Amino acid sequence: MQYLHLISTANCPAHENLLLLALRSDLDLLKGALEPGEYLFLQKAAKKGVFACCFPRAERLVFVHLLEPSAADNALQWEKARQSGSQQLRDIRHYKVESVAVVSYCPHPMTLAFLEGLLLGSYQFLRHYSSPERQAAPPLQVRWVCDAPPAGAVEEMNALIEAVFLARDLVNEPHSHLNTTQLAEVTRAIAEQNSCRVEVLTLEELRKLGMGGLLAVSQASEMPPYFCILEWKPTNHRNQRPVVLVGKGVVYDTGGLSLKTPEAMESMKCDMAGAAAVLGAMCAIAKTRQPVHVIGLLPITDNKVGSRSLMPGDVIRMYSGTTVEVTNTDAEGRLILADALHYAKRYQPELVLDLATLTGAAVRALGSHAICYMGTAAPEVKRTFEESGMNTYERLVELPLWEEYGEDLKSSIADLKNMGHGPAGMISAGKFLEHFTDYPWLHLDIAGPAYLRASSGYRPKDGTGVGVRLLFDFLKRYGC
């Protein structure tokens, strides 16, 4: 795990490798830190459009990175700084250095974004190699030389990096190593470590409650379903009523009897990315003691095939009492989320956010660069939320919940069916979920950005941990 360490100027060792960071427009600030020949070289390089270089000196390496400022667009310049950070990490690793001290001449938000990209890019998932050390890039100590960092910024950065890596680890862990019981156990352990209250409802309790959606999805499995409830409630919380986060926790989605194709199934260990994001965000919130009352609800199951499988066409009774004709057992996410959304009503929440790898339609519509979202929260809440999307570059695109999109969810034998027929599958899913809410609510379909086929900047191949930074940014500012 890569963390950011903080040291003061006075304590920076004379022989430490250096990374000098400045805005392209402020090249002259580097004059004092570089030797005259180095500065001249840098000036020429920058003119040619080369903004990163390395000067080897006898006692240390000096890396220089020039960031692109933008007066017009903060979010974009921070994102570029993150991308620069992950690019710089590659250069640093190329030289096999073990530690580097970062001296920045940029405004703090730019420096922090650069460091964030560098740290996020350092993620590796190695535990299943028989000799992990052979696959691993050597550990790197990143120290920020700063005498007056913004209060809590370094602690917050480390809490966030840890939370994103946790979410990535959970998504990357294959079903052979993360079944429903294991996910519920990890959730409990991690919540307790971070002083969140946690309760795990087991099969018997779910049966008593009548969580028909969750029970139906899990009924073919030899592994029981769970329902985890996490709570962070500091004494100084700003919100009167809680914000509830719901995360889809399908540890593996075969599609059930409406079986997926091998190509579509291959990545389906990622189907608990919503639950991983909620757990990660709650950890970061609790670790940095944010003054906001948050509850996390994680319905956990797998979606398997067996002699007791749910049959396409079956009618089930949801926790809310609504009856649903399950025309497609692969549309399982909405069934378990619906029960969780109904459960959320008992908290009389101010706002409920659900995160789910819910539809292939979301992937086809937006690829991996955006999250589809929709819901009934007030326009101001949506705008703040979209701002968080830009701040973290986990960008959000709103889709409508117009009545017409719900029309094909009508069943001829039950209250609803679980699949529509139109091409706008992510909206049909949203309309289905809306039925189980009676509070301000937003639904995030993270199927596109949750799991990547190839790495992209500071986002690694496979699990990205999407949603953690977004939720954290939103909740940190919530009610301010």
Chain positions contacting Zn ion, by CB under 5 A: 250, 253, 271, 330, 332-333
Choosing from 113, 178, 338, 361, the residue that interacts with ligand BES (CB under 6 A) is 361
Please indicate whether residue 346 is annotated as part of the active site.
Answer: no
Nearest-approach distance from CB 115 to Zn ion, in angstroms: 35
In the residue annotation, 469 being an active-site residue is answered as no
Q: Is 332 exposed, middle or buried (0-12, 13-18, 19+ CB in 10 A)?
A: buried
- Contact partner, 276, from Zn ion, ligand BES, none, Cβ < 5-8 Å per class: none
**Minimum CB distance to ligand BES smaller for 145 or for 450:** 450
Find the largest Cα–Cα distance for the chain.
82
Out of 173, 330, 339, 394, the only residue in the binding site for ligand BES (CB under 6 A) is: 330
Q: Which range in 108-116, 129-137, 191-199, 324-332 contacts ligand BES by CB under 6 A? A: 324-332
- For the beta carbon of residue 325, count every other beta carbon within 10 angstroms: 20
DSSP letter at 420?
Answer: -
Stretch that binds ligand BES, among 88-96, 162-170, 178-186, 353-361 (CB under 6 A): 353-361
Taking CB atoms within 8 Å and a gap of at least 24, the contacts of 48-51 are 51/24, 51/84
Q: What is the DSSP letter of 225?
A: P
The reply to whether 312 sits near ligand BES by the rule CB under 6 A is: no
Q: Virtual CA dihedral for 149, 153, 155, 161, nearest 10 degrees?
A: -130
Nearer to Zn ion, 347 or 451 (CB): 451
Q: Are strands 61-67 and 18-23 parallel, antiparallel or unpaired?
A: parallel
- Compute how many other C-beta atoms are within 10 angstroms of the C-beta atom of residue 296: 26
328 contacts which partner out of ligand BES, Zn ion, none, CB within 5 to 8 A by kind?
A: ligand BES
Catalytic: which of 260, 317, 345, 476?
260
Q: Does 363 help bind ligand BES (rule: CB under 6 A)?
A: yes
Q: Could you tell me the smallest distance in angstroms from the CB atom of residue 328 to ligand BES?
A: 4
Q: Which of 77, 180, 359, 391 is the binder for ligand BES (CB under 6 A)?
A: 359
Q: What angle do CA 335, 426, 166 make, to 5 degrees?
A: 70
CA distances from 417 to 90, 248, 259, 308, 449 (A): 50, 19, 18, 21, 28
Question: Shortest Cβ distance from residue 327 to ligand BES (Å)?
Answer: 9
**Is residue 425 a contact point for ligand BES (CB under 6 A)?**
yes
Which does residue 384 touch among Zn ion, ligand BES, none (CB within 5 to 8 A, set by kind)? none
Give the pairing of strands 314-317 and 323-326: antiparallel
Name the token pair of 350: 């101010």
336 contacts 214 by C-beta, under 8 angstroms:
yes
Long-range contacts of 263-268 (CB under 8 A, 24+ apart): 264/360, 267/451
Q: How far is Cα 183 from Cα 231, in angstroms, rounded to an integer?
A: 17
Residue 371 in the binding site for ligand BES (CB under 6 A)? no
- Which tokens belong to 328? 């497609």
Three-state SS at 218:
helix
Shortest spacing between CB 268 and Zn ion, in angstroms: 7
Catalytic residue of the set 80, 334, 395, 417 = 334
* Of residues 42 and 278, the one with the C-beta less far from Zn ion: 278
C-alpha 219/C-alpha 153 separation (Å) is: 46
- What's the closest the beta carbon of residue 353 comes to Zn ion, in angstroms? 18
- For 189, phi and psi rounded to 5 degrees? -65, -45
- The residue among 16 and 271 lying less far from Zn ion, judged by its C-beta, is 271
- Residue nearer to Zn ion on the CB measure, 146 or 250: 250
Of positions 328, 384, 411, 456, contacts ligand BES by CB under 6 A: 328
Residues 158-177 that bind ligand BES (CB under 6 A): none
473 binds, among Zn ion, ligand BES, none (CB under 5 to 8 A by kind): none
Which pair of structure tokens corresponds to residue 351? Answer: 């706002």
Report if residue 299 touches ligand BES, rule: CB under 6 A.
Answer: no
Pairing of strands 371-375, 396-398: parallel
Instruction: Specify the DSSP class assigned to residue 187.
Output: H
Q: What angle do CA 450, 452, 457 make, to 5 degrees?
A: 105
From 38, 271, 302, 339, residue interacting with ligand BES (rule: CB under 6 A): 271
- 60 or 260: CB nearest Zn ion: 260
Binding site partner of 447, from ligand BES, Zn ion, none, Cβ cut-off 5-8 A by kind = ligand BES
Binding mask 376-415 for ligand BES (x = CB under 6 A): ----------------------------------------
Q: Tell me, what DSSP letter sits at residue 57?
A: -
Residue numbers at the binding site for ligand BES (CB under 6 A): 253, 271, 328, 330-333, 357-361, 363, 419, 425, 447
Active site residues: 260, 334
